Structure 1
Amino acid sequence: MMGPVLAACLLIILSTAWISQANGATCKKDGGVCTCNDQTKNVDCSSKGLTAIPINIPADTDRLQLHMNKLSSLPHTAFHGLQTLTYLSLSYNDLKTLPEGVFDQLVNLNKLYLQDNKLTSLPRGIFDKLTKLTFLQLTENKLHFLQQGVFDELTELKTLQLQRNQLRRVPEGAFDKLQNIKDLRLDTNPWDCSCRDILYLSNWIREKKGTVSNIEAAECDGGTKAVLEITEEEAAEDCVYPNTTTAIPTTIITTLASSNDDDIPELPVPQENFQKFLGYQEPDHLPTQPQCLMSISGYLGLMMFFVLISAAILYVIHFLKKA
């Protein structure tokens, strides 16, 4: 009776192996694209030409390196299940937006690198769950405004890098909750020193001068004057900055209000906005070349699985006939 038992065990082992393979792999040792260190819990997926986050990143990962890839978007579930992560690098990619909640499960994250992407804005509440964050790098993006309260929950933050963006102002109270901030980089932004909104930043820099590094380097657009030197007389204008994609210039509002229905011009609608209006969404991500290769290996594994299953069944039938 040992023959059928051995055959059954063989079937179970083969099934388990195939299911594991079908689930995909992240680490090179398992056929994936990333280098994983079991001792340091470091997963290095940098410089792999990735267009999507690899699947099945080990749940106990401490450091995840995804810099120098071709990531242009992230699914909101990209980092779900990685509660032990303390270090995340997404620098030198092509990220244009961040989905709301993408970092919400990274409750132990200490350092976040987003340098050299194409971010134009940050969603409201994007950092609210990162209460242990001490280092945030947003250098070399295209940020042109900040949401009210976007940094309010980062009370442990010590370093914030915002240089080389397109910021012209920050909202009132933008940095007031950063109780432990020691280094804040604001230089190489086109700060608009003609508008009254700049006075909050000017006063804050003047107040923190000597206790927070690098803030004095912030200069007005054109480099004519340091932001901290701006006076109320110089910043006399009440400027309005559109800070959402739905903002309508005042000239258009005036024109529409003074026109008859027949006179209203037909405004061109960008294709991307029209697609959003119709409910069209791009898929979260497309498979990378390594992931496609893993899919092919999965099919080969499936074929091998069925071959071995057939062999095991024939063996059982042969044994039973002899019995």
Structure 2
Amino acid sequence: MMGPVLAACLLIILSTAWISQANGATCKKDGGVCTCNDQTKNVDCSSKGLTAIPINIPADTDRLQLHMNKLSSLPHTAFHGLNKLTFLNLQGNKLQTLPAGVFDQLKNLETLWLSQNQLKSLPPGIFDKLTKLTDLQLFQNQLQSLPHGVFDKLTNLNKLWLQNNQLRSVPQGVFDSLSSLSTISLEANPWDCSCRDILYLSNWIREKKGTVSNIEAAECDGGTKAVLEITEEEAAEDCVYPNTTTAIPTTIITTLASSNDDDIPELPVPQENFQKFLGYQEPDHLPTQPQCLMSISGYLGLMMFFVLISAAILYVIHFLKKA
């Protein structure tokens, strides 16, 4: 009568082992691509040539290293379930956009590094859930503007790195909620000191001078003058920048309203805009080679699992017939 008992035990052991392997497929020890440290809860997936985030990152991960890969986009569910995360490093990738809500579940995040990517803009509210954030790196991107209120919820932010972007101005009040800020880097941006929009930044720098380090390094485009030295007389123009919501002058609206349809030239519509209008969207990402390998190994493991279950059942039936 020991045969069925042994078979049942074997079945339990095999199923437990297979489930454990499936859930830990991210880590090298289980055939994945990342190095996982169970003691420090650190998952290191850096410098692996990844074009997508590996699946099944352990839910208790505290530090996630994804820097120096080839990530060009993120699905909005990329970090769902990782609410223990305090450190996320995405620097040195090829990120061009960030989907709205991608960081919303990371409510314990303290450090977020997004530097050395290709970001041209940020979605409104992208950091709103990261109320514990203390270090935010956005330097060496291609940011042309900042959304209104993008830092409003970051009252614990201590360090903000915005240098080496394409910023010409910032929205009124964009830094006002950063009550814990001690360091900010604004240099190597083409700040347009001829426009009224620069006056908020100039006044804010003068106000925080001596309490926020590195704040005086911001210079007007061309390096002719420090932003904090700009006066109202010098910044006299009303300027319109790309990706802003500055109102269209009424003269232009009147001209357009009085024009005949025949006088309005046809404007070419880029193919990607037409596709977006029709509701077409590119997939978030294609599976990477490591992901494909993990998927194949998962299917093979599943097949082996069912084969062993069948064998164990036949084994039990055989002994029951003998009994």
Query: Using a 3 Å threshold, how does the CA distance of structure 1 residues 244 and 270 change in structure 2: closer, same or farther?
Result: farther
Deviation at 1:149, TM superposition (A): 0.7
The question of 1:157 aligning with 2:154 is answered no
Query: Using a 3 Å threshold, how does the CA distance of structure 1 residues 16 and 86 change in structure 2: closer, same or farther?
Result: same
Deviation at 1:115, TM superposition (A): 0.5
Give runs of aligned pairs for residues 86-97 of structure 1, distance below 5 A: 86-97=86-97
Corresponding residue for residue 173 of structure 1: 173
1-side partners of 2:81 and 2:126: how far apart?
Answer: 17
Letter aligned with residue 62 of structure 1: D
2-side partners of 1:310 and 1:184: how far apart?
Answer: 63
Letter aligned with residue 262 of structure 1: D
Corresponding residue for residue 182 of structure 2: 182
2-side partners of 1:83 and 1:269: how far apart?
Answer: 41
Deviation at 1:253, TM superposition (A): 5.9
What's the secondary structure of 2:43's corresponding residue? strand
Corresponding residue for residue 75 of structure 1: 75
Deviation at 1:311, TM superposition (A): 3.0
2-side partners of 1:156 and 1:208: how far apart?
Answer: 17
The question of 1:267 aligning with 2:267 is answered yes
Corresponding residue for residue 131 of structure 2: 131
2-side partners of 1:162 and 1:213: how far apart?
Answer: 14
Q: Deviations over 1:206-232 (max 9, x none)?
A: 111121111111111111111111111
Answer whether contact 1:24 1:294 (CA < 8 A) is retained: no
Answer whether contact 2:86 2:111 (CA < 8 A) is retained: yes
Letter aligned with residue 82 of structure 1: L
Give runs of aligned pairs for residues 1-323 of structure 1, distance below 5 A: 1-23=1-23, 25-243=25-243, 256-323=256-323
Answer whether contact 2:172 2:200 (CA < 8 A) is retained: yes
Answer whether contact 2:24 2:58 (CA < 8 A) is retained: no
Letter aligned with residue 191 of structure 2: W
Letter aligned with residue 175 of structure 2: F
Deviation at 1:279, TM superposition (A): 1.1
Deviation at 1:281, TM superposition (A): 1.7
Letter aligned with residue 35 of structure 1: T
Moved more, 273-282 or 1-10: 1-10
2-side partners of 1:246 and 1:277: how far apart?
Answer: 24
Deviation at 1:155, TM superposition (A): 0.8
Answer whether contact 1:24 1:55 (CA < 8 A) is retained: no
Query: Using a 3 Å threshold, how does the CA distance of structure 1 residues 59 and 246 change in structure 2: closer, same or farther?
Result: farther
Normalised by the length of structure 1, the TM-score is: 0.92
Structure 1 residue runs without a partner (length 5+): none
2-side partners of 1:111 and 1:202: how far apart?
Answer: 28
Deviation at 1:6, TM superposition (A): 2.6
What's the secondary structure of 1:168's corresponding residue? coil
Letter aligned with residue 32 of structure 1: G
Answer whether contact 1:50 1:288 (CA < 8 A) is retained: yes
What's the secondary structure of 1:18's corresponding residue? helix
Letter aligned with residue 170 of structure 2: V
Deviation at 1:275, TM superposition (A): 1.6
Moved more, 195-204 or 3-12: 3-12
Deviation at 1:251, TM superposition (A): 10
Normalised by the length of structure 2, the TM-score is: 0.92
Query: Using a 3 Å threshold, how does the CA distance of structure 1 residues 252 and 47 change in structure 2: closer, same or farther?
Result: farther
Answer whether contact 1:63 1:85 (CA < 8 A) is retained: yes
Deviation at 1:193, TM superposition (A): 0.7
Instruction: Report how many aligned residue pairs link the two structures.
Output: 323
Structure 2 residue runs without a partner (length 5+): none
Letter aligned with residue 55 of structure 1: I
2-side partners of 1:191 and 1:149: how far apart?
Answer: 19
What's the secondary structure of 2:88's corresponding residue? strand
